[in-house]
Amino acid sequence: MTLYMNLAELLGTRIEQGLYRPGDRLPSVRALSQEHGVSLSTVQQAYRQLEDDGLVEPRPKSGYFVPQARQRPALPMVSRAAQRPVEVSQWDQVLELISTPPGGELVQLGRGIPDIGAPTLKPLLRSLSRLSRRQGIRELSYGSVLGDPGLREQVSRLVLDSGCQIPPEDIVITTGCHEALSTAIRAVCEPGDIVAVDSPSFHGVMQALKGFGMKALELPTDPVSGISLEALELALEQWPIKAIQLTPSCNNPLGYIMPEANKRALLTLAQRYDVAIIEDDIYGELAYKYPRPRTIKSFDEDGRVLLCSSFSKTLAPGLRIGWIAPGRYLQRVLHMKYMSTGMSAQLPQLALAEFIAGGHYEPHLRRMRSQYARGRELMTDWVSQYFPPGTRASQPQGGFMLWVELEAGFDSQRLNRQLLPHKVQIAPGSIFSAAGKYRNCLRMNFATPQAAGIEQAVRRVGESIAELQAEQG
Amino acid sequence: MTLYMNLAELLGTRIEQGLYRPGDRLPSVRALSQEHGVSLSTVQQAYRQLEDDGLVEPRPKSGYFVPQARQRPALPMVSRAAQRPVEVSQWDQVLELISTPPGGELVQLGRGIPDIGAPTLKPLLRSLSRLSRRQGIRELSYGSVLGDPGLREQVSRLVLDSGCQIPPEDIVITTGCHEALSTAIRAVCEPGDIVAVDSPSFHGVMQALKGFGMKALELPTDPVSGISLEALELALEQWPIKAIQLTPSCNNPLGYIMPEANKRALLTLAQRYDVAIIEDDIYGELAYKYPRPRTIKSFDEDGRVLLCSSFSKTLAPGLRIGWIAPGRYLQRVLHMKYMSTGMSAQLPQLALAEFIAGGHYEPHLRRMRSQYARGRELMTDWVSQYFPPGTRASQPQGGFMLWVELEAGFDSQRLNRQLLPHKVQIAPGSIFSAAGKYRNCLRMNFATPQAAGIEQAVRRVGESIAELQAEQG
């Protein structure tokens, strides 16, 4: 971590601990420079970082201040899941969400699409374009079923940041995180098996469980600390669970980061009951705070964690490049990967390897983290402002999704139908549950909050909610 | 069909019917021009086409002649398959074949790699390169789970050539033919189900059956007419077969084209016993004779044929773009596709759509058909010349693979080990059988027979075979 980041984190912690209060003036640049023995420009950089994170605000000629406390909506309730294995439903609603390609008139607040317009992506596009012209055997022919060796080397380097030491030969490149997750599930489970999941949970995984004839056991999940370890232990006691599937870092859709102690405790439970862990880390690198959180995989000593990720959220989903570090299940995963797609597209793998090796990945991530942190502030403000009183919302620690909880009995599928003529779409909460719970919830994307029409779309969502609530009386 | 193609086909038929015999002089260009009322250059074009196809040879100042009959090896025997459902094995050998990326020192005669160096591919690379720079939402974001609408429209146009009328909305783009085949299998069958297959058969499908816990019933297959309909009927009577999976046009590995009457009869059987047909047409467009053969799908009236294909053999496998026309199973296939990869990479889809719409696909196919037809002649000559007497070989009608059968008891896996220090690899026959039959067979690629080192590699294979046979006594 550089000097300015250290200082920014120190000041940030002091603000969050209440040492400086809303409205307080913060120490001057000169005073901090002397106190910490760093240059004036280092202090200025630290303040800019804190400003980006929404923790301080500059006032012309007066210095930096702690902003007035924002009106934050209350957190969602801890989910009360069914606590018995169920067959997954909701395919029709998922299909509705994913059938419309982006780029039309519809404002798709519901989809998990990152900002793909950042200038820091340019070097990747240049590599893609240059490699496309080559007509070489590496670009156009079959590669290894494991994926491009150069890209696996880069992934092996990247995972060091999450505390993992994984050699390139234990990494398999996949067609997006989808393929990583579905090969993981198939490598570990048979039809009829039970998989424990956090709840609400990513619909792609649940639809895979449905497709493979497996059952999901949804566990109560806290919007700050994640899956309930008590409930998990009870479930492991009660049911023949084969695997735990969860997204512990920058969870989708809730945005929490599971505390490190909980991650360790979960691994211990998995060891005691001898079950596999399928860890989805697709948003992990988009944690607003640096350094990024550790993965459960980083504590794993007996290879029971299958770590799944991709570049779909950090770079661009259209590349369809993900990866899996399957631990002891490598051979099974290779077989599943071969039968599902044979191998993944070559060009994006080669271009990505160049992009990362060329040092372009970290600057892009830094930019995106700040942008999404600001997006969270904006979206939270809009929900406070435009949504009916009593609306609850998540406080994401990373990524670009907000989870909104409305009063019991609200129907977010009806909301989507209401929004259709206004060309706005949200993700209804029910697709994040195997059993179709969370009908009173919805998920919204804040990756590009300053794009034209986004604020207006969110406002429209708020108004439609109010209309529907008024109808219900 | 253009005038010159018509004429070339007419002359070709006359030669094949024996109207002109080996060594005969063919009518002069002027005579044919007068006889058919076409220009001199049309006749010249027709002769050039026949020359490319190896049916005529020019002699300076004397005109065109029918070449002396080549020494062709005898055809392989009709396969005698096990005729009971078995669990698929042979994964280790498949893994060995697919783990080595091409482009190294090894001459990979065993892999199904087309010639990716043709200049007719250039427009595709230009499109890819140009689209790569765009940074637009279509190129980089999620598309529809069905695939790019523009590409589906082009595929819908292309399948007209095989007698199919399939609207774009009934086509799903996949990550290679692998994903088309594995979603098809999963859409139709459950674990434990029995799938009837031609034999020898593509290893990718059989490994998918293995992975999904299904059983393969291998049926006797004729090296000229394909799967035995008598054996199939008996099997349908005897076993609860769920689907028939086969590659009827330019079969892999045998290269035959199943006669149209057999295709119709197979469909009638499938109707009578109410089973699905999973038709792999990946090599169909590479039939040496124009027009290409009809698919079974083209006769299908109740949507029971799932037609699977890709651009991996006609253009380049590294693109990973395939497609499936799943008939009545569309909804199931969409679900399987979503859970396996979410969607396929966007850029190659957009570039391909441009390439086909721009009229570049047909010229490329024409070039490849001629090249592969010549490759077949060369490879067949080499096998006659360099392999021990008694060697049998297929007579492919399309594609770029030769199937070679050696005396009973020969071990092609041992041959591969013997070839390793010589940096040559063939595909051992056993991976084309669920039960590991065809150990005395092997498959070789003749896509680029004139590339450096290919003839020498084939010669080396022949020599190693002779050595091993001498050892066996």
Digit-coded pLDDT (tens) for A201-237: 999 998 999 889 999 999 999 999 999 999 999 999 9
Distance CA B403, CA A294 (A): 52
- Tell me which long-range contacts B5-9 makes (C-beta under 8 A, separation of at least 24): B5/B46, B5/B49, B5/B290, B7/B32, B7/B36, B7/B38, B7/B42, B7/B43, B7/B46, B8/B45, B8/B46, B8/B47, B8/B49, B8/B50, B8/B53, B9/B289, B9/B290
Cβ pair B212:A133 closer than 8 A: no
CATH no., domain A3-65: 1.10.10.10
Residue A353, chain B, CB below 8 Å: the answer is no
Please give the pLDDT value at position A18: 75
Please give the pLDDT value at position A279: 98
Pick A345's closest partner by Cβ from B139, B318, B343: B318
Inter-residue contact B96 to B425 (CB < 8 Å): no
Residues ≥6 apart with Cβ < 8 Å to A232: A196, A219, A244, A266, A269
> What residue in A sits closest to B126 (Cα-Cα)?
A133
* Diameter over CA atoms, chain B: 67
Residue B195, chain A, CB below 8 Å: the answer is no
How far does A200 lie from chain B, in Å, by closest CA? 18
Please give the pLDDT value at position B270: 98
Nearest Cα to Cα of residue B340 among A129, A102, A322, A423: A322
Structure tokens at B140: 């980089």
Amino acid in the structure at residue B215: K
Read off the pLDDT of each residue in B398-421 and give the average, rounded to a whole number.
96
Inter-residue contact B69 to B22 (CB < 8 Å): yes
Rounded to 5 degrees, φ, ψ at A437 are -70, -175
Instruction: Tell me the three state secondary structure of residue B219.
Output: strand
Average pLDDT of chain A to the nearest whole number:
93
Where do the CATH 3.40.640.10 domains begin and end in chain B?
122-357
Distance CA A382, CA A400 (A): 15
Please give the pLDDT value at position A70: 67
Residue A104, chain B, CB below 8 Å: the answer is no
Domain A134-357: CATH architecture, name and number where available: 3-Layer(aba) Sandwich (3.40)
Residue A118, chain B, CB below 8 Å: the answer is no
Burial class (CB in 10 A: 0-12, 13-18, 19+), B194: buried
Distance CA A450, CA A443 (A): 18
Question: Which of A267-281, B60-74, B257-271, B385-399 shows the lowest mean pLDDT across its residues?
Answer: B60-74
Instruction: Tell me the three state secondary structure of residue B429.
Output: helix
How far does A322 lie from chain B, in Å, by closest CA? 10
Percent of chain A with pLDDT over 70: 99
The answer, yes or no, to whether residue A2 has pLDDT greater than 90, is no
Residues ≥6 apart with Cβ < 8 Å to A135: B116, B117, B121, B122, B125
Residues ≥6 apart with Cβ < 8 Å to B191: A190, A191, A213, B212, B213, B214
Residue B17, chain A, CB below 8 Å: the answer is no
Cβ pair A191:B176 closer than 8 A: no
C-alpha of B105 from chain center = 26
Where do the CATH 3.90.1150.10 domains begin and end in chain A?
91-96+102-113+363-472
Question: Which of A19-23, B307-311, B378-382 shows the lowest mean pLDDT across its residues?
Answer: A19-23
Please give the pLDDT value at position A139: 84
**Which of chain B's residues have a Cβ under 8 Å away from the Cβ of A332?**
none
Cβ pair A211:B140 closer than 8 A: no
Cβ pair B132:A136 closer than 8 A: no
More confident residue, A144 or B104: A144
The CATH class of the B102-113+363-472 domain is alpha beta
Q: Which of B1-15, B101-115, B240-254 has the highest mean pLDDT?
A: B240-254
pLDDT band of residue B322 (cuts 50, 70, 90) is very high
Cβ pair B207:A135 closer than 8 A: no
Please give the pLDDT value at position B20: 85
Rounded to 5 degrees, φ, ψ at A135 are 55, 40
Cβ pair B135:A149 closer than 8 A: no
Please give the pLDDT value at position B87: 85
In a mutagenesis test of the A interface, which of B120, B339, B445, B448 is the best target, namely the one with the most A β-carbons within 10 Å? B339
Question: Which of A134-148, A216-230, B159-173 shows the lowest mean pLDDT across its residues?
Answer: A134-148
Read off the pLDDT of each residue in B238-242 and give the average, rounded to a whole number.
97
Question: Which of A25-39, B6-20, B135-149, B239-253 shows the lowest mean pLDDT across its residues?
Answer: B6-20
Percent of chain A with pLDDT over 90: 76
pLDDT band of residue B454 (cuts 50, 70, 90) is very high
Nearest Cα to Cα of residue B198 among B113, B262, B114: B262
Rounded to 5 degrees, φ, ψ at B111 are -95, 155
> What residue in A sits closest to B205 (Cα-Cα)?
A339
Pick B207's closest partner by Cβ from A126, A137, A335: A335
User: Per CATH, which fold does B122-357 belong to?
Assistant: Aspartate Aminotransferase; domain 2 (3.40.640)
Structure tokens at B304: 């029971």
Where do the CATH 1.10.10.10 domains begin and end in chain A?
3-65
> What residue in B sits closest to A113 (Cα-Cα)?
B141
pLDDT band of residue A473 (cuts 50, 70, 90) is low
Residue A347, chain B, CB below 8 Å: the answer is yes
The answer, yes or no, to whether residue B1 has pLDDT greater than 70, is no
The CATH class of the A91-96+102-113+363-472 domain is alpha beta
Distance CA A312, CA A106 (A): 21
Please give the pLDDT value at position A467: 96
Distance CA A147, CA A171 (A): 8
Structure tokens at A361: 């990945």
Q: How many A×B Cβ pairs under 8 Å?
A: 236
Residue B451, chain A, CB below 8 Å: the answer is no
> What residue in B sits closest to A91 (Cα-Cα)?
B335
**Which of chain B's residues have a Cβ under 8 Å away from the Cβ of A340?**
178-179, 182, 340-341
Per DSSP, helices labelled H in A69-109 are 91-99
How far does A125 lie from chain B, in Å, by closest CA? 5
Interfacial B residues in 125-164 facing A (CB < 8 Å): 125-126, 128-130, 132-146, 148-149
Amino acid in the structure at residue A60: P
Residue B192, chain A, CB below 8 Å: the answer is no
> What residue in B sits closest to A99 (Cα-Cα)?
B144
How far does A71 lie from chain B, in Å, by closest CA? 34
Rounded to 5 degrees, φ, ψ at B466 are -60, -40
Cis peptide before B253 (omega within 30 of 0): yes
The angle subtended at Cα B316 by Cα B313 and Cα B322, nearest 5°, is 65
The answer, yes or no, to whether residue A456 has pLDDT greater than 70, is yes
Structure tokens at B368: 């490849």
Residue B104, chain A, CB below 8 Å: the answer is no
Pick A317's closest partner by Cβ from B134, B142, B320: B142
Residue B239, chain A, CB below 8 Å: the answer is no
> What residue in A sits closest to B191 (Cα-Cα)?
A191
Residue A212, chain B, CB below 8 Å: the answer is yes
The answer, yes or no, to whether residue B53 has pLDDT greater than 80, is no
Q: What are the tens digits of pLDDT across the range A374-403?
A: 999 999 999 999 999 999 999 999 999 999
Nearest Cα to Cα of residue B263 among B227, B291, B235: B227
Q: What are the tens digits of pLDDT across the range A40-86?
A: 999 999 999 888 777 888 988 889 998 887 678 899 988 876 678 88
| Other CB atoms within 10 Å distance of the CB of residue A138 | 18
The answer, yes or no, to whether residue A1 has pLDDT greater than 70, is no
Structure tokens at A188: 């570990």
Q: What are the tens digits of pLDDT across the range A226-272?
A: 999 999 999 999 999 999 999 999 999 999 999 999 999 999 999 99
Inter-residue contact B170 to B325 (CB < 8 Å): yes
Residue B91, chain A, CB below 8 Å: the answer is yes
**Which of chain B's residues have a Cβ under 8 Å away from the Cβ of A178?**
338-342
Strand partners, A25: A65
Pick B129's closest partner by Cβ from A112, A121, A132: A132
**Which of chain B's residues have a Cβ under 8 Å away from the Cβ of A346?**
318, 320
Distance CA B201, CA B435 (A): 11
Where do the CATH 3.40.640.10 domains begin and end in chain A?
134-357
Average pLDDT of chain B to the nearest whole number:
93
